[in-house]
Chains A and B, each alone.
Chain A
Amino acid sequence: MLEHVYLIALIPLAASLVILFGFKENPRSRAPYLGIAAMLWCFLQSCAVFHRVAASALPLSYEANMEWFRLPVQIAGKAFALPLQLGVLIDGPAALMLCVVTLVSLMVQIYSLGYMHGDPRLRRYYAFLSFFTASMLGLVVSSDLLVTFMCWELVGVSSYLLIGFWFEKPGPAYASKKAFITTKLGDCGLYVALLLLFTKTGTFQISALRESVAHGYLAGAAATAVALGMLLGCIGKSAQWPLFIWLPDAMEGPTPVSALIHAATMVAAGIYLVARTYFIYLASPVALETAAWIGLITAFLAATMAIVAYDIKRVLAFSTISQLGFMMCALGAGGYAAGLFHLTTHAFFKSLLFLGAGSVIHAVHTNDMRRMGGLSKKMPITFVTMVLATLAIAGVPPFAGYFSKELILKAVYQHSPAMFFLLAAAALLTAFYMTRLIMLTFLGAPREEELHQHAHESPASMTGPMMLLASLAVVSGMALAHAGFIERLLPLSAAAPAEELAAREFPEWLGAGVSVLGALSIVLGFLLYRGPAFETAKALKRRFSGLFELLENRYGFDAFFLRLVEAADALSRFCFWFDSQVVDRVFVDGWGLLTLIWAEAAQLVDSRLIDRTVDGFGLLSLDLGGGLRALVRDGQVQEYLMYVAIVVSLFAALLLMR
């Protein structure tokens, strides 16, 4: 079964093509079932792969390649056609990610049956979903960084298509472009990193790169440059500071798509790439430290922004950014397993939160939490599952988030206590804003009777996936952390040869302290947002309006990037002005003008000087003729003959004398 693991990426691709070209657009189209069946198969296969990898005593690393194309290169003085490989590399992280991606995608596709019911472009929607998942799965299994990069970009373009799925509305059309361009900005770094990587090592293959790093062919400044370039790509893709601006806008897409983007595909890609190339980061302490700080800043900033948002999906978007910051910080701090573990648990509860939010939006047709309230009775299943997910993300034991967050905090503490405290603060904020979300949406009295009246629980196709994900949000942490399983599955030694990390003892009381404070911030959220009008929170907002405004403006990062775009526009207009007015007018037409002037001058010389001279000769001969005629004007033919004879004999004499 490992021999055919590539099918896990290819089957959804085939499904998407079949859906796109084989079905007619029709709201009752059967296309969704094809997508779902394909994904179910992939999920089962992934589970089998996971079982194989997890059951083996040592983390199995399976690699299989085939030749893709040959590239003429010169390496070490030899010129030859280097074969580039297309292949799969399955190890612990890849197996884990396979399960996460296929499961979340499966849940999202089933959920979409209800959520997108009756959409006129259902076929296209499912084709894009399958394509999106296929690109992500390709990224997960690929054994070659060039292929990874290709899938990476395909993930980007599918997210572009899905965020802009309702393209008739200006919002999604703008948001999809913003997402693509912002991530592309990060990809420039990744692009250069790949160029440098190949120049230094002559390969894109991950296993060969690992050898190169182990032998020290890639070290020092080069390793740092490669790692930082890649990090820039991951900052874009995983919405880290300062490129996180695209993610909140990406909420314009259909909500199930948001669930997919935020949990399993797209944003997970950045974290996964860092993990996949962790051996390069280990060769560069600078890059690791940068990653840790970027993650920390992101985790904290995004958590603060989540506190003031009223759009339910935006709160979750900021929350995703913040949680991704946790993962990045963990990876940077050396918590390899912790980061990937959190990626897994986060995928479950975050996709659940989005699906829950979608269920709410489906019921009340608004994203604004100020218009909700008191929905718990109307939508019990949504309410309960959302609460479970909130407990998980808030890190309340024994829910999933508790285990992974605990592991992260431990790793970060061992790296640097100062970073630990900031990150712990972000964790407390998480508990707070999630409580706020639950309070505003589900508890208290309904703030708009009209909406509340029409609200109803979603159909089984939507609640089913939510219940399944909820059970995972409860148990996945416990199960994976059981007896150190996750650390065995994701050993650092697989990422790099044994690397000694600073062993600082993590005091037990600190972990407990964070848990207690987390509980307190839940209570605080409960108190602040109690009552239908949440007066206490509003009073606070009036009191600190400056701070709130800063947070609502997202610290001005959006404005900054907008100004950057304006500057680029101005530059482009200048370039075009320069091109048409200077290069074309002066440089090119100038030559033409010079030629014309030259031609005019020549014409002048020609007509005034040369032609006049010619005319002059004509006139001269006329004058001469006139003079001669005056001399011999008598008309005697004999006389003329005599002159002729004299002249001829003179010439003859001259000739003979020579």
Chain B
Amino acid sequence: MNTLSLITFIPLLGAIIVLFLPKDRVRAIQTTAIAAASVSFILSVALFFFFDRATPGMQFVEHADWIPSMGISYFLGVDGLSYPLLVLTTLMTLVGLIGSLGVKNRVKEYFFWFLLLDVGMLGVFEALDLVLFYVFWELCLVPMYFLIGIWGGPKKEYAAIKFFLYTLAGSVFMLLAILAVYFNSTPHTFDILALMKAHSAWSLRFQILVFLGFYLAFAIKVPAFPFHTWLPLAHVEAPTAVSVILAAVLLKMGVYGILRISYGMLPLAFHWFLPYLVVIAVVNIVYGSLCAMAQTDMKKMVAYSSVNHMGYCLLGIAGLSATGFSGAVFQMIAHGIITGALFLLVGVIYDRAHTRDIAAFGGLAAKVPVYGAFMFLLCFASLGLPGLAGFVGEFLCFLGAFARWKVYTAVAVLGVLATAAFFLRMLQKVFLGPLNAKWAELPDMTARELISIAPLAALSVIIGVWPGWVLNLMNATILHMTAFVKP
């Protein structure tokens, strides 16, 4: 059964149906979109029961010739590295769509682009052919451009074009790198699994060149310092649900690419790059959290906290150990859930108050206790409180990196402190203290908002208390990936 294809293309089917619906049938458009995303989500969760946790290799593989003359094939599959991300994508898309029900303007196009974006993201995590990977990768770009550029905030055009050009610039180098590995493999192939075995014939020099091509594309997506400045801008301008997807899934494509392609296909260059990667990771962590501390806009603060949190992933990867890799993957899941929920929460207050200025509020905890409780829970999850998802990812990343990079890791721990500082300061200014009389009529969360946020909050508790459910999925794959690594 072609489950993976179904998961990927049911949203496409939904998008096409949406295209054919009249644009004033808002209800039908929303229902179609959510139904498509739900089916995709349910199918991906159903795989949970069939996923073999002991197999390190690819599962649910689908292989068909696409352009045989050039060795391009339609090749999908998931393993312990990509399967958790697949579920994260379908889940966050569904949550994002529910969070988008409030969109009033050009509903039809919005849901069309949103579903198309979903197809691209799912494909990236499943594709095992570089051309297919590249197609899906680029497929994410255009919908995102329109979603930010049409439904965004005041500076939406600037943010959208910056996002688009920046990411495209990275993609161009990736395309070059893909062509380079194609022409240097015998027989010429785009098959990622085959290329993983081909690298022994490549010189270090060649690997480094190819690595840098891929790295540029991935680093811009992660985003790794100094390629991160599109992120705060895009987040601030993007509509809430798009921010959610951007933070929860799109950034993960970069980290996934580094693990799957840069590490898998170019191990020599990866080793060569490690000392730089760890520095970048520490800069992301410490510098990102310091930048977040300086923010007055809640959304921008959460955006910079993403820079900080993705730094943990990079640190785990730079550790080049089984623990670090599992930490990086776990952190991706945790960050996706937590930061996705935080963006939704920031959207909740913005919808009511039409401002995100931290200083504009005060004492809200007494007025909107449910909202306050969720915000506290998720901020604590994000700052790495043990018992919640963020801690496990963060701790495993640090643990995995420590054996190799003692001093860098110790410095990065300061970033954890700064993260706690800016989240607590925000909580204090917004929720504690005397109630700002301006918000005396602020209503608490609605049912729709609760439906999109409560499951994420629950998940952040569940996988924080019982991380085994996620770790078991990836352990076999990650042990296999790092089997030949020298400590």
Contact = CB atoms under 8 A, between A and B. Distances in A.
A199 B322 contact: no
A195 B399 contact: yes
Contact of A174 (B321, B385, B428): B428
Contact of B166 (A191, A192, A588): A588
B472 A198 contact: no
A204 to B, nearest CB: 10
A191 B386 CA distance: 12
A79 B485 CA distance: 10
Given A69-B468, A71-B323, A592-B165, A77 B424 contact: no
B424 A177 contact: yes
A72 B475 contact: yes
Contacts of B380: 157
A70 B482 CA distance: 16
A185 B417 contact: yes
Range for the number of chain B residues in contact with chain A? 35 or more
A73 interface: yes
A212 to B, nearest CB: 16
A80 B233 CA distance: 42
Contacts of A181: 417, 420-421, 424
> Interface size class for chain A?
35 or more
Given A168-B434, A573-B294, A576-B294, A153 B417 contact: no
Contact of A180 (B365, B403, B410, B424): B424
A512 interface: no
B414 A167 contact: no
Given A69-B471, A188-B416, A576-B295, A74 B482 contact: yes
A188 B413 contact: yes
A509 interface: no
Interface stretch (A332-340, A398-406, A564-572): A564-572
B291 A72 contact: no
B399 A81 contact: no
Contact of B293 (A168, A173, A174, A569): A569
A537 B162 CA distance: 70
B482 A79 contact: yes
Nearest to A76: B487
B471 A70 contact: yes
A178 B475 CA distance: 39
A80 B399 contact: no
B326 interface: yes
B428 A72 contact: no
Q: Which of A169, A172, A575, A580 counts the most B-chain CB atoms under 10 A from its CB?
A: A575
Given A69-B471, A575-B287, A191 B416 contact: yes
A167 B362 CA distance: 11
A184 B418 CA distance: 10
Contacts of B403: 199
B386 A153 contact: yes
B291 A576 contact: yes
Contacts of A170: 432-434
Contacts of A584: 229, 233
A195 B396 CA distance: 10
B435 A571 contact: no
B458 to A, nearest CB: 12
B428 A588 contact: no
A584 B227 CA distance: 9
A192 B412 CA distance: 10
A572 B479 contact: no
B385 A153 contact: yes
B75 interface: no
Interface in A128-177: 149-154, 157, 164, 167-170, 172-174, 176-177
Contacts of B378: none
14 contacts: A69-B467, A72-B478, A74-B482, A80-B479, A153-B386, A167-B363, A173-B433, A180-B424, A181-B420, A568-B418, A575-B291, A575-B294, A580-B229, A588-B162
The 4 A-B pairs with the shortest beta carbon distances in the complex, nearest first, are A69-B468, A150-B386, A173-B432, A576-B294
Given A168-B366, A169-B434, 7 more contacts: A72-B478, A170-B433, A181-B420, A184-B417, A196-B402, A575-B287, A575-B294
Interface of B: 162, 165-166, 225-226, 228-230, 233, 287, 290-291, 293-295, 321-323, 325-326, 363, 365-366, 380, 385-387, 391, 396, 398-399, 402-403, 406, 409-410, 413-414, 416-418, 420-421, 424-425, 428, 431-435, 466-468, 471-472, 474-475, 478-479, 482-483, 485, 487
Interface of A: 68-74, 77, 79-81, 149-154, 157, 164, 167-170, 172-174, 176-177, 180-181, 184-185, 188, 191-192, 195-196, 198-199, 568-569, 571-573, 575-576, 579-580, 583-584, 587-588, 592
